[in-house]
Amino acid sequence: MIPVRGFQGAKVAVLGLGRSGLSAARALRAGGAVPLCWDDNPQARAAAEAEGFACVGLTGPGAFDGIATLIVSPGIPHLYPMPNPVVAAALEAGVPVDNDIGLFFRSLATADWDMIDTLPRVVAVTGSNGKSTTAALIDHILQEAGRPVQLAGNIGRGVLDLDPPGEGAVVVLELSSYQTDLARALTPDVAVFTNLSPDHLDRHAGLGGYFAAKRRLFAEGGPDRAVIGVDEVEGRFLAGQLTEGAADDRVIRVSSGQKLTGPGWQVFARKGFLSEYRKGRQIGSIDLRGIAGLPGAHNHQNACAAYAACRALGLAPKLIEAALHSYPGLPHRSQVIAEAGGVTYVNDSKATNVDSAAKALGAFKRIRWICGGLEKEGGLGALLGQTGAVAKAYVIGREAAAFAMQLDVEAEVCSTMAVAVARAMEQAEPGDTVLLAPAAASFDQYDSFERRGEDFAAEVEMRLRG
């Protein structure tokens, strides 16, 4: 645990008692603060009270009298589409609002660091798609290199549940826009921006607000090195804002699909080969085509970003290359779950928006595509023209018929995962890939994308067993 500093003897309100909220309450208490907790869910309050935390209402008159700050869990709106009533009460009372990420950055360094020769470093990864894979890949490479490393944030452990890092250690954080938007302290040593595509637009009042939330990691944090995906205009704009000139190697530009040129530092992938250029000279190259855990151009972009971050930490290209080959992949992200009769079964349940689904569709040659769910704002228009490898779509979800009508491929309305898997397996031919890439949220039928992916895997396994 990382005890929270700066609030000794102060009352600190904690809103939301899930993983990050309870972790924050524990770390506040460990640092000498007095947490006052609330969650609308009675079971969550009971769990907190069982650990000795006081649960009090935070919206009545004078509720924020004497409270130093309010810590808010990521899923709770603090501005758009409208602030949660507790957040609104804090703002009305002039009480600062923060989250566990802000507490982490303000509490990480300790007096013990004066005795450390090689200070711990923090790598923070954000973006629309690929940030989980990129963060996990950085963590894997560092482990393979023998570096002490911990993975946390939107993946793995809560940030305040980490062990205090010691000599030469690295903390790798995956940060969502919900987390970067609110954190009052953001000071990574290396910050990574993978890409940007429309997502969570209601929470950020549009694409501009969404990009602004991601940009805070760089504008507020001032990282020593910034790894920026430049395949979208927002990434190119961000790289331009951070650099002092074309030769400024504090910014490492990353791309999948285009060759990057110039006197600066670039890492890009073309036709399955990763290349590193610095000061106009190639200094590294890796063949990514045979790496099972990183299929498709979108994973090649993730590999470029992870490679660049690890190079910024001083790792050698050959060491990184060896680690890439042993990377097993993440569950629910281009995860091969079975191969039988010449057919490959791939679980990409994490493809919850149209951009990530389009990238998954570009990774395989002939696809039986299971898609559908709770459609996100913006519709499916961005998928048009991206389905050339799809032999047929099998649509699930409560609104499967309406979803299917928006597709530009032959589509069968299946509604349930069981029917979709059965029909796809019946019609699949050797060389086909049965791919779950929903292009939609899971919440119409499942409580998480993980549960949806587990259901897909269970249905496939059951039918393969006969």
CB 253 within 8 A of CB 275: no
CB 253 within 8 A of CB 269: no
Burial of 236 (0-12, 13-18, 19+ CB in 10 A): middle
Q: Which residues are annotated as a binding site?
A: 127-133
Q: In the beta sheet, which residues pair with residue 346?
A: 336, 435
Q: In the beta sheet, which residues pair with residue 376?
A: none
Instruction: State how far the Cα of 339 lies from the Cα of 40, in Å rounded to an integer.
Output: 45
Comparing CA positions, the residue from 435, 301, 298, 414 lying closest to residue 365 is: 435
Please name the helix (run of DSSP H) or strand (run of DSSP E) that holds residue 208, with its range, or none: helix 207-219
Half-sphere exposure of 162 (CA within 13 A, CB side): 29
Instruction: State how far the Cα of 284 lies from the Cα of 274, in Å rounded to an integer.
Output: 8
Instruction: State how far the Cα of 442 lies from the Cα of 373, in Å rounded to an integer.
Output: 6
Q: In the beta sheet, which residues pair with residue 190?
A: 123, 225
Q: Which residues are annotated as a binding site for ATP?
A: 127-133
